[in-house]
Amino acid sequence: MMTELDQSYVDRIIPERAAEANKNDFGRVLCVCGCAGYTGAAYFAAQGAVRMGSGVVTLATPERAWPVLAVKLNEPVVRPMPCGADGMLSREALPALLSLAEKADALLIGCGLGRSYAVAEIVVTLIENAKCQIVLDADGINALTAHKDILRQAAQPVILTPHAGEFARLSGLENPQQGELTLFARKMGCILLYKGHRTLIAAPDGRLYRNHSGNPGMAKGGSGDVLAGMLVSLCGQGLDPVDAACAAAWLHGRAGDMAANARSEYGMTPGDLLHFLPDLLKRYNTREW
């Protein structure tokens, strides 16, 4: 059965922030993202998590990307990781990544990681070992093309956020029908957030959701990275993963609609999603300050 996502659905999911709360109440998320060529993707993901309300965001990124990202990002903790001559994470990064993942409440892997054998080994090893909720995006998904059975070994259902190209690469399915998405989620024991004009979310138990916010102004490189950061943030704050996927998809699209109304579909940027998200989230203030 299909559930249509709207504002009232999401309003029921987003919790009040307790007045006496401290940063530990809002989750520590780890983003394993970026490489020498893709610093923007790591920036958007980490800032998406910050703007969605995480207590502490850590970005682990190859040391070649680190000088750029350490300057671009103020709120996240930015950790340099061993990298190869290709500017991507190398196998030597694994011990540090596993140790950081142990302390995380939720883990995002993939935005701008690039593609290599070492990256694939790192993605697989993190999925095998991490105990917390995992969100897999972009090159994190690409890394599983030859290893997708590993999804069944994760401690909890992994959330995958492919666009059509990434899903086709992973599953071999072009233009999948709704039933095929549900079947994939069930067979692989994962939560699928299939991005597009009307993003669909398929849960392993057969539930299916359709998002109605968002517009073609968001069809620009970087928009998906913001979504991945928002989603891992909600997971780290303790939301049920299917609820987190539904809420992130709708809020991300709605922030995009606010950006389009203010700045045009043509001229708006993924950075504008980060800019308008706080205005949208004002509705979850429970008090006047």
Ligand X SMILES: NC(=O)C1=CN([C@@H]2O[C@H](COP(=O)(O)OP(=O)(O)OC[C@H]3O[C@@H](n4cnc5c(N)ncnc54)[C@H](O)[C@@H]3O)[C@@H](O)[C@H]2O)[C@@H](O)CC1
Ligand Y SMILES: Nc1ncnc2c1ncn2[C@@H]1O[C@H](COP(=O)(O)OP(=O)(O)O)[C@@H](O)[C@H]1O
The correct pick among 89, 100, 138, 151 for binding ligand Y (CB under 6 A) is: 138
Q: Which does 164 bind (CB under 5 to 8 A by kind): ligand Y, ligand X, none?
A: ligand X
Site string for ligand X, 34-53 (x = CB under 6 A): ----xxxx------------
Q: Does 272 bind ligand X (CB under 6 A)?
A: no
Q: Does 40 bind ligand Y (CB under 6 A)?
A: no
Q: Does 112 bind ligand X (CB under 6 A)?
A: yes
Q: Which does 13 bind (CB under 5 to 8 A by kind): ligand X, ligand Y, none?
A: none
The correct pick among 111, 126, 218, 246 for binding ligand X (CB under 6 A) is: 111
**Least distance (Å) between residue 35 CB and ligand Y:** 14
**Least distance (Å) between residue 7 CB and ligand X:** 25
Instruction: For residues 204 and 188, give the distance between their C-alpha atoms in angstroms, rounded to a whole number.
Output: 8
Q: Does 194 bind ligand X (CB under 6 A)?
A: no
Q: Does 229 bind ligand X (CB under 6 A)?
A: no
**Least distance (Å) between residue 118 CB and ligand X:** 15
Question: Residues comprising the binding site for AMP?
Answer: 195-199, 224
